[in-house]
Amino acid sequence: MPRDFLQGAKDEYDVIVIGSGLAGLTAANILGRAGHSVLLLEQHYKLGGMATWFKRPGGHIFDVSLHGFPAGMIKSCRRYWTREIAESIVQLKNIRFDNPMFSLTTTYNREDFTQLLTERFGVPAENVKAFFDTARGMNFYDDQKTTTRELFDRFFPGREDVIRLLMEPITYANGSTLEDPAITYGIVFSNFMAKGVFTFEGGTDRLIQLMQEDLVSSGVDVRIRCDAEKILIRRGKVQGVEVNGRTIRARAVVSNANLMLTIFRLAGEEQFDRSFVDQAHEVRLNNSSTQVYMAMKPEEQIDESTGDLLFSSTAPVFRTDLLLSRDVTSRTFSFYYPRTRPQGRPRSLVVSSTNARYEDWAELSDEEYEASKRDLVETTLDAAEKYIPNFRERLAHAEAATPRTFKHYTQHAQGASFGTKFEGLGVSRALPEQVKGLYHAGSVGIIMSGWLGAINYGVIVANDVDAHLMKAPAPAVSAPEA
| Residues of span 35-64 touching ligand FAD by CB under 6 A | 41-44, 49-51, 64
Backbone angles phi, psi at 319, to 5 degrees: -140, 140
Per CB under 6 A, the list member of 6, 16, 17, 22 interacting with ligand FAD is: 22
Q: Does residue 65 belong to the site contacting ligand FAD (CB under 6 A)?
A: yes
Write each residue from 414 to 433 as x if it is in contact with ligand FAD (CB under 6 A), else as -, in one continuous string: ---xxx--------------
CB 352 within 8 A of CB 335: no
Q: Does residue 169 belong to the site contacting ligand FAD (CB under 6 A)?
A: no
Q: Does residue 188 belong to the site contacting ligand FAD (CB under 6 A)?
A: no
Dist. CA 189–CA 156, nearest whole Å? 16
CA distances from 118 to 17, 114, 196, 295, 356 (A): 48, 6, 19, 39, 33
Q: Which residues have C-beta within 8 Å of that of residue 160, sequence separation ≥ 6?
A: 101, 317, 318
Rg of the chain's alpha carbons, rounded to an integer? 23
Backbone angles phi, psi at 81, to 5 degrees: -125, -125
Q: Does residue 449 belong to the site contacting ligand FAD (CB under 6 A)?
A: yes
Q: Which is nearer to ligand FAD, 128 or 266 (CB)?
A: 266
Q: Does residue 405 belong to the site contacting ligand FAD (CB under 6 A)?
A: no
Stretch of 67-75, 132-140, 299-307, 311-319 lying at the interface with ligand FAD (CB under 6 A): 67-75
Q: How far is the CB of 48 from ligand FAD (least distance, A)?
A: 7
Bridge partners of 105, per DSSP, are 96
Q: Does residue 442 belong to the site contacting ligand FAD (CB under 6 A)?
A: yes
Stretch of 12-20, 321-329, 370-378, 392-400 lying at the interface with ligand FAD (CB under 6 A): 12-20
Dist. CA 341–CA 304, nearest whole Å? 15
Stretch of 21-29, 134-142, 143-151, 209-217 lying at the interface with ligand FAD (CB under 6 A): 21-29
Q: Does residue 228 belong to the site contacting ligand FAD (CB under 6 A)?
A: yes
Q: Does residue 9 belong to the site contacting ligand FAD (CB under 6 A)?
A: no
Q: Which is nearer to ligand FAD, 67 or 251 (CB)?
A: 67
Compute the residue count for the chain.
482
CB 243 within 8 A of CB 226: yes
Dist. CA 424–CA 430, nearest whole Å? 10
- Alpha-carbon torsion angle 291, 175, 266, 207, nearest 10: 60
Dist. CA 449–CA 472, nearest whole Å? 30
| Residues of span 319-358 touching ligand FAD by CB under 6 A | 353
Q: Footprint of ligand FAD on this chain (CB under 6 A)?
A: 18-24, 41-44, 49-51, 64-65, 67-69, 173, 227-228, 256-257, 289, 291, 353, 406, 410-412, 417-419, 442-443, 449-451, 454
